[in-house]
Structure 1
Amino acid sequence: MTERFRRHLLLISAGLLAALVFWIDSIAEYNSAISILYLAVLVLVSAAGSGNVVVRAAQVCVVLTILAWAVVHLHQPSVASALRCLSACMAISVTAALLLSRKRLEATKQDLGSSRSEVELFANSVPFVLWRSNPRGEIEYLNESWTTVTGLDRWTVLEGQRYNEVVHPDDMAVLVETVTTAVANRTMTDLKVRVRQADGSYRWMQIYDRPALSPLTGQVERYGGLSDVHDEVVAKEELQQLRKELEASNERLEQRVNERTTELMRTERRYSGLFDVSNMTFAEMDFSAAEAILDQIKSRGVTDLRSYMTAHPEEFARALSAIQTTRVNDALARMMGYESVSELVASPTAQFAEDGPEVLLRQLEMYFYGVDHIDGRTVLAGKDGRRIPVYSTATRLPDGLHLSSYVNLSDQERIEEMRQAAQAELARANRVATVGAFSASIAHELNQPITSMLMDAQTGLRLVARGSPEIETLTRILQRVAKTAQRVAAIVQRTRDNIVAGRRAVKAIDIRRLASDTRDLLDQDLKRADVELEILCEEAVPMIKGDPVELQQVFVNLVNNATDAMRDQPDTRRITLAIAAEEVAVRVRVTDTGPGIPDEHIEKLFEPFFTTKATGIGMGLQICRSAVEAMGGQLTVTNLASGGACFSFDLPLALKEPA
């Protein structure tokens, strides 16, 4: 049975019992104190409802008692019946008061238990080791961070007073001397020592130990903590390590019984000294009045708070004015350049940060959308125009309180500015290098077609020098020269497009026809090198998407590289260009019968300016890979088991245009 169902069942039972009592009490024959049974109704209501429900139930029972008396005795009233009615009403009222007192006592007990748990939870949630010691300097309390840092059970350590065992032997003497002096003179301990961690290593940690007069014992107790400053000490950097100073916000509790209230206050005072250990910054703000305004806005059906506040700036201003800064610590005042906390609190809340209204709007959204925690970067507006970049966190507490903490990022931002300056200088150097690489790329791409044109021109001149050249042969040579010149023009135009606007002529390509054109283009070079180029391609291979000029340049580069690899080979020199349709792409494989690629070169093959040729510039394969990647593929290379190398890549299919 669920709790909700149980409450409903009890309330229904109470209602039925009240109706039954009223019915019996309304019958003249039963001239007795039947209405006293309403006490059972109140007990049932108390077990299921709140204090307000009990009060309303008592009021209803009194009304029913009086109404029943009126029904039975109003025509012939008597003192005895009136007294019975009055007694029943008083009994109902007293019982209701007792039940309300019991409910309040239970609520007070529950609040006290929650407060104790919250104090202990807070101490254990702080990411530092915290302790409390007696006037003799013996530690009597350690939080759970001690076990996390050292790996030692805190209760065992406290029982045997073995906490100094984790200190490095070389630091023990100075630690004992410093702590002894601080305890004797009632001064603060501030010392860096090496502490053994859970993994057995030692890290530098800062020890803070401050005396404080205990309101419970009247003696001076000491509150201290450990913070990790290993990186600061080892690196000797001049960066101030900031730590968070956390302070538990005081719960606004209902009136409790005296003994429980006293015990709660004693517990809170006992641990209040823990919040003065570190130098972390925090501020506590009261949003309760602003939350009431947000409740009104939500009741109107508003779901987008930001849009609503933008459209109603007067409502936004009213909500901001309702926010009050209730508490800040000295560390925050110092960071913002104020001489005292009171001077900082006197400033308007919205002026704490350069984007103060935006920060407060985000905190209003926390309540509006039921979010408990937010964080982000902002810039605090300090005294005399001081700007402090910080990383801020805000946590929503009970009773409309918000606890905010801030980490100063000034040093990190200076480092970031230096890094960006260095990055800008590196980018400039990269642009200079890119210009050189691009020039080499253009030279590499134009080298082959210009050489081919030169050879065809020389062949044509020799035919003309014979006196009676064969017109058909000369025509084929001139056509080849024209076709090569068109290819040069296409390369130049594509290069210009890439430089000016980064454009690529992406379109549908008949890859089978492009491969055939490439073979015709390289026919003379292949014959001179005694190399056979074989194209293996299905008849109905689909169209692919890409840049035809770049793809042909890839084919030319791969075929020329294979030709160069087999130039000194006495055996068969064959290059195979295989094209096969896959499910969503076309696979291209260029293989040769050469010696293959040395293992030590295969990883560097696509790096810019890496070449194994005496006259090469090392840009061909890098250009090929970039071109294939731009068309959606990936150029890879492997050595064949039978000898020779295989370059392969996939190209995506061209989508059909809608009809």
Structure 2
Amino acid sequence: MELTSSRQRRAVAAGISVACLLVTLLTRDPSGLLVVVAIVCICLDWRAGLVAVAATSLMSAAMLLSPLDVTASSSARFAAYVFGALAVWLVVKIFRTTSFYDRVYQGAGAGTAHTPGLGWSAYPDGRLRFLNRAALEYVGITAEEMREVMDADDFSWWRRFVHPDDAETSMTQWRHSLKTGEPMIAEKRLRRLDGSYRWFRDTGVASRDERGRIVGWYGHTEDIDDRRKAEAALRKSERELRLLVDTVPTMIWLMTPAGLPYYFNKRFVDWAGIDPAQEEPRGTRRFASHVELFHPDDKAGVKAVFQKSFARGEPLQHKGRLCRKDGEYRWIDSRFEPLRDEDGTILRWYGVNFDIDDEVRAQESLRLADERLARALRAASLSELSVSIAHELNQPLQAVVANAGAFQRWLNADPPNFNHASRVAQKIIRNADAAAQVISRIRTLFSKAESEPQAVDLNAVIGEVCDLLGDRLASANVELDLHLDPDLPATVADHVQMEQVVLNLVRNGIEAMQDVDIDVRSLRIVSRHRNDGTVEVEVRDRGNGLSNPDRIFDAFYTTKPDGMGMGLAICRSIVEAHRGRIWAENVETGGASIAFSLPVRTGDSTKTLPRQQASE
């Protein structure tokens, strides 16, 4: 029969007590009263037990001293003694195996019932002696099942509660603590009543008596499953962050508030050949050792700029040459930003290095290409200009030669005709002056000094150009149609450069009509004053028109078999340098129109005018 309650055990004890009293009275042997005393002490308390001792002592004296005492037989006395002994054994057996559970699992006070975590205790040999209520509820066993576990003399129950993968390790730790008396601290997974496992930190400490002998073990098992999951998630996040930092295509490094490097990502380590295993302790590496990586020409400047930035706590961006692990110096763009706390105190510095060597070299190559292009443009301009110069000089020089021959013939006539010779001599002088003006314009064009701006009458410039190209117009059978505004205001400009622009436009118009009928060859030049404060000059031909008006001002673009494509490009540069604009379009009635406009300015409005050099 299982006695599962205190009331049942007390009822059985009371029955045994009554039976012992009856046996005592029948056998007149007071030894049975000892059972009554034992039952009173166990069921009530020791104070009631003292009262029971006094009462049974008086009863024993009454029995032994009573004249009615009839000496019982020795067999009856022996039977009474055996009965009393069995009764004492039974009572002790009942209360030894059950009172502990009643006191711990049923009659426990608030302090034991509300102990946080899973609490336990064990005998000195390691056998489990106690589990608190939280532990019983977690593993899902009753007090009766726990009694069987506690009565077991082996550790078979260990595998019942501990995860199979952790059982051997935790058992080895527990046996080591039992052998040495050292505290046990182990992390293992314990099975919950639903069959799932959670991580716990199990801590067991030995309890010793005054002689140092272990009298028991007491432990506390803390649920750390959520914390381990959080730590695992944190480690995963750290791994992902480190992977991100190591794989991002940038060299990253961290520094202390004083600017001492203490961390380099993998890309920096691989790029510079830094060995992290040989680095000084965290935050103690001298910055000077990293300055040595910079180019000798940059070391002093880099060190001064960095130290100034670190001292002031200001962000920094710097470009310099850094030595790669193969010994090659490459241009690096370094940027540093401080991380501050809420009070503004710098916690650390974050630095990134961008390898911009390819970009720098590309820019240098582009600069050299621009210089080569500029030289080519100057050479092309000189070539085109040389053709123009040769043409301009050819006309007056041919006239000089022709007039000189005529002068000689008039002088050699018989008689000499001095009147005609005098007129021819005047023509020779005019032709020589025209050639001198061409040379003067060329010298001014190539002069390195800035030209002095002056008021320019574009109508006069057009007239000079037409006089200069008069023979060319006549030889090409081109009719010149001038529509010049008599009230055209003057503008501040470079006279020679304006002549060069008009000359190019007129010559292009003449050449555009080489393939059309002679009857329609007409070149119209118009000057007008616009309401927007500009003066405009238009040169219109009757040729075949422009195939691509948007590109004719591009350098080297030409539709002529023997052209270089620089004349109109130079014109555009000159006009734009005078803050004007030039454009071209096809005319509906046939031919093309090229015009340019300049702002109307007086001599006081502009002190220095940008000058177009021959290189353009």
Larger-gyration structure (1/2): 2
Give me the TM-score of the superposition, normalised by structure 2.
0.49
TM-score by length of 1: 0.46
Higher helix share: 1
